[in-house]
């Protein structure tokens, strides 16, 4: 069977360094850190008192207050980012068949804020069960694509992928394959997360996964630096419109790039730690290259998972060297998490967007906050440290890994 080609025709972003695509890109190329003291709740007694929250975001500017109250924040974020992407793609009822438009979304946790608030309210009461009638639909992870489809009338494939921090990359790969196989013409895909809550921060603190650099939050996310000591929590959403190539051409859509392949793998190693030899990361990149029909030497850039954890950065770097050999030294490697923090289930989406924009503008965003080389990492690799670099990018990869050993890799190609 000949697979259909899949292209990207729309983008939308809601991130800690910009509330739309233009702001997000400006934040990336200028090396802006989104980390700051937490405002979502009183974090005075927490080990980590900072995160990468959204800035100056008022949901009521986008969604009517009555409707917004029916949604957890992760769904609100999804609605805003997907609306931007749909508008950017120029999708209208006149140029699409809504039966052939799907929504495949990623969320690692879903409505944790709603769950937390309902449980706290119940615990503070007299034991009488008084729950919000929207408690369950606000909390479930699949509600975001459901709400997007309800708003726009999209009746194609509709579901959520859940694979921890690989969730939205999984969603994009699923969307690519559904279009490849002819099950849809257009799919709204991406991911959202809103886990900067008491239970979210407390849980990751208990795992010793977060940075505790409370005295200088903006420098806390420092991938590949010797003094890294954990990731910084982020929140937000990223949305991409994936479309069958001939369908996009027929309606005169602008095309950013082609989604040429995707890879999936499992570490099969540990609950939260990566495989020490980077085996899962190695396999997922090889699977992605094979799926895309691309040679090692054709890859120009990799937006790595690069969370700024002691074990993860070492394992991923080893995997890149094992896969690419000498060509690894010719690749621009960067971690945009140094600026956005880690958006968990939404990470794959906003990082895929970063790769698309890097390709469009010929600029690789920097990995900021790097000061001290780590002798466990090959520092001769080009990590695009501290300053953006110009580069003509024809092929870019984006890595995303999650707790449980879930790995996803996406390959984006400049359209011929």
Query: Mind telling me the catalytic residues?
Result: 165, 305, 342
Q: Which helix (H) or strand (E) element contains residue 324?
A: helix 310-324
- Alpha-carbon span 134 to 138, nearest angstrom: 6
Q: Which residues contact 296 (CB under 8 A, 6 or more apart)?
A: 289, 323, 324, 325, 327
Specify the 3-state DSSP secondary structure of 270.
coil
- Alpha-carbon span 108 to 402, nearest angstrom: 9
The DSSP string of 134-151 is: THHHHH-TTHHHHHHHHH
Whether the Cβ atoms of residue 280 and residue 248 lie closer than 8 Å to each other: no
Whether the Cβ atoms of residue 161 and residue 170 lie closer than 8 Å to each other: yes
- Alpha-carbon span 309 to 276, nearest angstrom: 13
- Alpha-carbon span 409 to 330, nearest angstrom: 19
Total H helices, total E strands in the chain? 13, 14
- Name which of 264, 372, 354, 373 is nearest 17 in CA terms: 354
- Alpha-carbon span 264 to 173, nearest angstrom: 9
Residue with tokens 């208990």, as numbered in its chain: 206
For residue 396, what are the β-bridge partners?
301, 412
User: Residue 259 class from Cβ within 10 Å (0-12 exposed, 13-18 middle, 19+ buried)?
Assistant: buried
- Alpha-carbon span 324 to 305, nearest angstrom: 17
């Amino acid at each position: 069977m000949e697979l259909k080609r899949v292209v990207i025709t729309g983008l939308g972003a809601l991130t800690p360094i910009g509330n739309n695509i233009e702001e997000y890109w400006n934040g990336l190329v200028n090396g802006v850190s989104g980390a700051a003291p937490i405002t979502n709740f009183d974090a005075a007694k927490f080990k980590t008192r900072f995160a990468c929250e959204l800035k100056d975001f008022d949901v009521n500017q986008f969604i009517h207050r009555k409707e917004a109250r029916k949604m957890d924040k992760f769904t609100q974020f999804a609605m805003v980012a997907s609306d931007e992407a749909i508008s950017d793609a120029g999708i209208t009822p006149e140029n699409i068949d809504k039966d052939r438009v799907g929504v495949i979304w990623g969320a690692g946790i879903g409505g944790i804020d709603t769950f937390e608030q309902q449980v706290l309210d119940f615990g503070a009461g007299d034991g009488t069960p008084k729950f919000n009638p929207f408690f369950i639909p606000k909390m479930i992870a699949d509600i975001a694509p459901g709400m997007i489809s309800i708003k726009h009338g999209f009746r194609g494939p509709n579901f959520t992928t859940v694979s921890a921090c690989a969730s939205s990359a999984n969603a994009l790969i699923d969307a690519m394959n559904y279009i490849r196989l002819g099950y849809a013409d257009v799919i709204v895909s991406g991911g959202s997360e809103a886990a900067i809550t008491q239970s979210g921060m407390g849980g990751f603190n208990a795992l010793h996964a977060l940075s505790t650099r409370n005295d200088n939050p903006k420098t806390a996310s420092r991938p590949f630096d010797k003094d890294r000591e954990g990731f910084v929590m982020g929140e937000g959403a990223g949305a991409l419109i994936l479309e069958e190539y001939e369908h996009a051409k027929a309606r005169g859509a602008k095309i950013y790039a082609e989604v040429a392949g995707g890879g999936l793998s499992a570490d099969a190693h540990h609950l939260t730690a990566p495989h020490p030899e980077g085996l899962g990361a190695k396999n997922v990149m090889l699977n992605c290259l094979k799926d895309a029909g691309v040679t090692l030497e054709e890859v120009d850039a990799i937006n790595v998972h690069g969370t700024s954890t002691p074990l993860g950065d070492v394992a991923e770097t080893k995997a890149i060297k094992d896969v690419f050999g000498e060509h690894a030294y010719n690749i621009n490697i960067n971690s945009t998490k140094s600026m956005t923090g880690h958006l968990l289930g939404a990470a794959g989406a906003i990082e895929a967007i970063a790769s698309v924009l890097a390709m469009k503008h010929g600029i690789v965003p920097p990995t900021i906050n790097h000061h001290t080389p780590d002798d466990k990492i090959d520092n001769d690799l080009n990590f695009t440290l501290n300053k953006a670099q110009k580069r003509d990018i024809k092929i870019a990869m984006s890595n995303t890994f999650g707790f449980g050993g879930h790995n996803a890799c996406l390959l984006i190609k400049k359209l011929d």
